[in-house]
Amino acid sequence: MSKVEATAYQAAMLRALALANQSPRFGQNPQVGAVLINDQGEILAEGLHRGAGTAHAEIDALNNLAAKNLSAQGLTAVVTLEPCNHTGITGPCAKALVEAGIKKVIFGTADPGEAEGGGRLTLEQAGVEVLDGLYEKECRVIIAPWFVNKFEKRPYVIIKWAASLDGRTAAADTSSKWITGAESRHDVHARRSQSQAILVGTNTVEVDDPELTARKPDGELYPDQPLRVIIGQRKISKEKRIFDKAAETIQLETHDLAEAMTTLFERGVNQVFLEGGSKIESELVKAGFADEFLIYLAPKLLGGPAVAIGDIGVGSIDRALDLEIIETLKLGNDILVRAVKKES
């Protein structure tokens, strides 16, 4: 592969990733994007999957190419996910690419589905050149929520905390407003709005009296407000702000996190945004339900006992929970570190 080709493929995959991010976030199928390029690296058509029962990203791209009266013969398909090899509501994408005359397929990450996978073999047996692993980490991150939903039958769980550089979430007098700056808080609200539920423990509701809505920088509510979920058996006063009319609120009167995850999943919640406190965060980590971490760090030192998470069952350094950093972002004076569990 020449340097020019590599650059063209990278640009094409970045565009495919952008398309995948436009795909429906919560559905039966993963978010996928695809582009079709010529030998000069020019994008001739692009596509994305718009939800169950609609054309897959590769087929969408082929359809868009045909609408321009262009042929796919000799083109390269760049796709975030390995083309599928099964016939469901729609036909197998691998076969469609072969029949269209595609000469090369580049995909980011393999399809983990038993029925859906195997597209690579079909393509190679038909004489199509196949390359994989381009921006693999980014492609895996996009399908991670779907993967957890499909194979673990529970919501994808994002744990968020804001802390000082020494990992403290409050000062010695318990004050915590505000550790991070306005830019970080705006980012939190934007990311809240992308989940279907915001989860919080009873102690946090009692002590902090949070509203737990998702608001724009001007204070306006985002159109789709996540379900607000309180977990714990303590009785909570209906006078708390979490019970206002800005969004629906429920309380799961249990300490069984597996039961809570099942209840939310059966209710149609595919992604949960955890807002604390440290006890429930620690328990979710210990239970293996923590899929992603959003850690907002402010350039401050606080000291004291108010740590972000407590005991997570790590007795020695060799038992540490290894994370993979997938994004860092400067937000005013703060830094966001986004991490996921490292694959073993």
Do residue 98 and residue 223 come from a single domain?
Answer: no
Q: Report residue 43's pLDDT band, with 50, 70 and 90 as the boundaries.
A: very high
Do residue 261 and residue 137 come from a single domain?
Answer: no
pLDDT at 5: 74
Do residue 136 and residue 168 come from a single domain?
Answer: no
- Last residue in a domain, options 115, 148, 181: 148
pLDDT in tens, 281-299: 999 999 999 999 999 999 9
pLDDT in tens, 49-88: 998 889 999 999 999 999 999 999 999 999 999 999 877 6
324 catalytic, yes or no? no
Do residue 217 and residue 133 come from a single domain?
Answer: no
pLDDT at 116: 53
Do residue 142 and residue 188 come from a single domain?
Answer: no
What CATH number is given to the structural domain containing 254? 3.40.430.10
Tokens of 188: 């939190």
Do residue 133 and residue 164 come from a single domain?
Answer: no
Number of domains comprising the chain = 2
Active-site annotation holder among 5, 42, 46, 58: 58
Do residue 87 and residue 201 come from a single domain?
Answer: no
Do residue 141 and residue 172 come from a single domain?
Answer: no
- Last residue in a domain, options 118, 148, 178: 148
Spatial strand order of the sheet with 129-132 comes to: 43-48, 33-37, 76-81, 104-109, 129-132
Q: What share of the chain is helix, strand, coil (3-state, %, to 5)?
A: 30, 25, 45
Do residue 196 and residue 323 come from a single domain?
Answer: yes
Tokens of 222: 């985002």
The pTM score is 0.88
3-state secondary structure of 197: strand
Do residue 189 and residue 41 come from a single domain?
Answer: no
Do residue 291 and residue 190 come from a single domain?
Answer: yes
| DSSP letters for 281-312 | HHHHHHHT---EEEEEEES----SS-BS----
- Last residue in a domain, options 118, 133, 148: 148
Query: Could you list the residue range(s) of the whole structural domain that residue 334 is in?
Result: 154-341
pLDDT in tens, 115-127: 556 799 999 999 9
Mean pLDDT across the chain? 92
Is the model's pLDDT at 279 over the cut of 80? yes
Q: Report residue 4's pLDDT band, with 50, 70 and 90 as the boundaries.
A: low
pLDDT at 270: 95
In the chain, alpha helices (H): 3-20, 57-67, 93-100, 119-125, 136-152, 182-192, 202-208, 257-266, 278-287
What CATH number is given to the structural domain containing 56? 3.40.140.10
For residue 294, which of 142, 199, 159 has the smallest C-alpha distance?
159
Mean pLDDT of 4-13: 88
pLDDT in tens, 234-262: 999 999 999 999 999 999 999 999 999 99
Do residue 198 and residue 334 come from a single domain?
Answer: yes
